[in-house]
Structure 1
Amino acid sequence: MTKEVDVAIIGAGPGGMTAALYASRSNLSVVMIDRGIYGGQMNNTAAVENYPGFESILGPDLGEKMFASASQFGAEYAYGNVTGIEDKGSVKIVHTDDGDYEAKAVIIATGAEHKHLGVPGEEVYSGRGVSYCAVCDGAFFKGQDVVVVGGGDSAIEEGIYLTQLAKSVTVIHRRDQLRAQAILQKRAFANDKMKFVWNAQVEEIQGDDDGVSGVRYKDKETGEEHIVPGKGAFIYVGIKPNTEAFADQPFVDANGWITTDDTMHTRVPGIFAIGDVRDKHLRQIATAVGEGGLAGQGAFDYIQTLGDKTLA
């Protein structure tokens, strides 16, 4: 069966929920389609300290507040895995594995996910010590030594979080300096529980029947190999956009990112993109929310141009 709506939003993270708020408040029928719970990556965030209006708030709590706002004017949430979009001019067909949606405008807000190292042991010990979410799994490593791989914002933020639980946190980075924000670096270097291994290439996640036991790395300068003992290996080595379902679309670049104009409109009329799927520098809740507002209003403006929608 095909369900008809004015606006189909693919993804229910902060950007998608904000877009739903703006579009539904403009008297448009809206559905947010997501293959997981609404809130997106906020559900894996312990404390949000850089979102206006809150000195600090738990990520899941912020997600609940945003969903309440998003749904107050009638926007609906639906579970589904989107498999593609068909552009039929004034109508777009959003295909999911649980039915199709016919919409006048589509907003893509599918986010991105963590990249894997691709080394031996990573998949074997996934869920048994290997993790990509310290907030999700950190409690399993109370009082133990853990390893964080990476040197960007996510790696250092999660490393700092882990110091509240673990005995020690060793950050392994392939370069000789961190890429994280200066404020995060300052906090990390001042934390007695954090150690750093520089110019290191991870070669293997080691383990046994009990799970991860350590991380083997090669010193890129000397070629020597070493092992950092640890019961947990938290990996933060980049992200990739969740755009596989749209790979055949003209607005997806060679690396999988979606390009838009400054109103969040892609090169296909009536299709917008917001949040972490966009080719941009800063990926934060605040930027996703701003883009969601632009796209929600943009969808309203676009539908007006179709001339077949009476708006109250």
Structure 2
Amino acid sequence: MEQVIVLGSGPAGLTAAIYAARASLSPLVVAGREAGGQLMLTTEVENFPGFPEGIQGPELMDAMRRQAERFGARFVDDDATGVDFTGHPLKVTVGDQTYEAEAVIVATGASARWLGLPSEQRLRGRGVSSCATCDGYFFQGKKVVVVGGGDTAMEEALFLTRFATEVVVVHRRDALRASKVLQDRARAHPKIRFVWNAVVEEVLGDKSVEGVRLRDVKTGETRVEPCHGLFVAIGHDPNTGFLRGQLDLDERGYVVVHDETRTSVEGVFCAGDVADHRYRQAITAAAAGCKAAMDAEKYLEARHAAPLASSASS
């Protein structure tokens, strides 16, 4: 029987593990086969406090993991394949192993939707990004391309105008799905140009992005759009498939939380991008991980004190 199981090993999960371990809860962290979360795809992190010169994403996650291990957190580097939250103890299945716990912290994050191109995967972190807030600063004085037509794409494009000389928005249709206010702002911005009815067929460049090959979906014609960066802004999917039917999820699949970290099941807490589709930053995920661990600790204290209180009164 574990006191706490943490699902996920991004900034939220590892911060939760650090706090839970320091509270002598000896957490078991189900880290996942692709441990570390989305920061493992980020070359340079310059907006995480405490690193004035910046830090590599994988380096930051490795340091956080070692910090959690130092205080007694234990790790299973595999994916959670199922849970049973219908009663206590809470159960988590990892492969053919089932673990039981008094409390669970869900911090499995969200995954950016990608275009699915080999060239896109090869150049991730070398000019290909899914987060303008994270990486926009690196494109000062450069031209970038944003793919997408929803609110996220417009927000990314508008943010990138602070740094880039030109932002080219590529959309597969001739109309945007974004809210009218964001559409109006993007269309009116002098740095933003739209390419309609087009898709990115290939990301060009050897060591870094040098351009994208676009294909017109109506005519089939292709052309090259030179650029230094490609921002894929077609949405995120929360990693909650194994939680369906066990926790309340919203219409997009994100975990519904109450009072910051509490889920629909007593003893199950939540932190990070698996519930947050607004901020999606390492620092906000870490803060949520701290809150979830502290809430889990208080929950366990109350759970253990209840029998003692009733026996003392009798």
Shared fold (TM-score greater than 0.5)? yes
Equivalent residue runs for 1:6-45 within 5 Å? 6-45=3-42
Residue 222 (structure 2) pairs with residue 227 (structure 1): yes
Code of the residue aligned with 1:227 in structure 2: it is T
8 Å CA contact 2:136–2:163 kept in 1: the answer is no
Q: Aligned in 2, Cα 1:41/1:250: closer, same or farther, shift over 3 Å? A: closer
Deviation at 1:83, TM superposition (A): 1.7
Q: Aligned in 2, Cα 1:198/1:52: closer, same or farther, shift over 3 Å? A: same
Name the structure with the higher strand share.
1
Superposed CA offset, 1:153-185 (max 9, x none): 725865775899xx9754455479841286632
8 Å CA contact 1:11–1:33 kept in 2: the answer is yes
Structure 1 residue runs of 5 or longer lacking an equivalent are 139-145
1: distance between equivalents of 2:248 and 2:201? Answer: 37
Code of the residue aligned with 2:121 in structure 1: it is S
1: distance between equivalents of 2:114 and 2:249? Answer: 22
Q: Aligned in 2, Cα 1:133/1:287: closer, same or farther, shift over 3 Å? A: farther
Residue 197 (structure 2) pairs with residue 198 (structure 1): no
Q: Which residue of 2 aligns with 1:142?
A: none
Name the structure with the higher helix share.
2
Deviation at 1:303, TM superposition (A): 1.2
TM value normalised by structure 1: 0.74
Q: Aligned in 2, Cα 1:188/1:296: closer, same or farther, shift over 3 Å? A: same
Code of the residue aligned with 1:69 in structure 2: it is Q
Deviation at 1:298, TM superposition (A): 1.0
Superposed CA offset, 1:112-148 (max 9, x none): 112245xxxx4xxx32x2338621xx3xxxxxxx9x7
SS at match of 2:164: helix
8 Å CA contact 1:85–1:95 kept in 2: the answer is yes
Q: Aligned in 2, Cα 1:306/1:187: closer, same or farther, shift over 3 Å? A: same
Q: Aligned in 2, Cα 1:213/1:260: closer, same or farther, shift over 3 Å? A: closer
Code of the residue aligned with 1:53 in structure 2: it is G
Structure 2 residue runs of 5 or longer lacking an equivalent are 168-190, 204-210, 308-314
TM value normalised by structure 2: 0.74
Deviation at 1:87, TM superposition (A): 1.9
Equivalent residue runs for 1:1-312 within 5 Å? 4-55=1-52, 56-117=54-115, 122=116, 126-127=117-118, 129-131=119-121, 134-135=124-125, 138=126, 154=131, 170-174=145-149, 178-180=154-156, 184-189=160-165, 197-203=193-199, 205=201, 214-217=213-216, 227-229=222-224, 235-307=232-304
Superposed CA offset, 1:79-120 (max 9, x none): 222122112533100012141110110111111112245xxx
* Count of aligned positions: 274
Q: Aligned in 2, Cα 1:171/1:156: closer, same or farther, shift over 3 Å? A: farther
Code of the residue aligned with 1:244 in structure 2: it is G
Deviation at 1:240, TM superposition (A): 0.7
